[in-house]
Amino acid sequence: MTTAAVLLKRIDFGDDDLILTYFTRARGKLSVIAKSARKSRKRFCGMLDLFSESNVVCIYGRGRLPVLQEASLLHPFSDIRSSFMKTAYVSYLAEILYHWMEPEAAQIQVFDLLHQVLERIDRNLMPDELLSIVFQMRLLHISGLSPLLDRCCRCHVDMDALKECRVGVNLVRGGVLCKACSRENPPELYLSKGDIKLLQWLGGGDWNKIARIRFSPEFLRDALHFLEVFVPYHLGKEPRSLAVLRQFRSERI
Ligand SMILES: [Zn+2]
């Protein structure tokens, strides 16, 4: 089996081997064993770097995991690893995919989204915060878990019909609440109606148009805060990399 693959996770196995978990175009999340990879790093030079994209060839044998036969580097994405902040953002996105995606189930849309986002983070084409927002909104959309943002998730009143400019978010119901429903279900956090419109647009907007818009620091902060609560809630766990990301961000301010 040959496929393009982004390396999400790498763990030592035995004395010389590595278990590599990729997000692949052909098979979705796929863990493979790279025999003697720690002994002969030359054989896989550059292809064992986290978040790099390679063309990998694996064979299914008698073992539990397919064996990596060969790999050729397609995109090193090395500028991601040379920045702590970029590494922190991508580690969080990779951890979401690692926990969320089913093993060996092709998700071509998710693979293409990952590639598009990694390329833009690596080349510094857009702010890292914005790319993290776009990735999470689109992943939720592809997974059928988009937050309900255009009407109250309890009484279904249209958000455009409401006067208040800030609305509450209810995680269990997966969306926004009108003022009356907020009184009975205290929201976990709040979003402005302007933020909601932008979030919805980023979930499906054209990359070229997104690149031309300047987003306010307040929008980026509030949208990230919302998604970094919403996504872990639906994931059922708090990614460990999120604590690191939050720490880097707080030190930068
Ligand atoms: Zn309501």
Q: Model confidence over 110-126: pLDDT tens digits? A: 999 999 999 999 999 99
Bridge pairing between strands 2-13 and 28-34:
unpaired
Which portions of the chain are predicted below pLDDT 50? Answer: none
Strand order across the beta sheet in which 166-170 lies? 175-177, 166-170, 189-192
Residue 193 · residue 102 · CB < 8 Å: no
pTM, two decimals, is 0.95
1 Cα–ligand 1 center, Å: 51
Bridge pairing between strands 166-170 and 175-177:
antiparallel
176 Cα–ligand 1 center, Å: 8
Give the pLDDT confidence score for residue 64 in this predicted structure.
87
Give the pLDDT confidence score for residue 224 in this predicted structure.
97
101 Cα–ligand 1 center, Å: 33
Using CA atoms, how far residue 238 sits from 89, 100, 188, 203, 230, in Å, is 14, 12, 16, 22, 10
Tokens of 235: 């994931």
180 Cα–ligand 1 center, Å: 6
Domain ranges of the chain: 1-76
3-state secondary structure of 180: helix
Phi/psi of residue 39, each to 5°? -85, -45
* Residues, CB within 5 angstroms of ligand 1 (ion): 152, 154-155, 178, 181
**Across-strand partners of 30?**
22
151 Cα–ligand 1 center, Å: 8
Q: How many Å apart are CA 10 and CA 212, to the nearest integer?
A: 36
Give the pLDDT confidence score for residue 253 in this predicted structure.
60
CATH class of the domain defined by 1-76: mainly beta
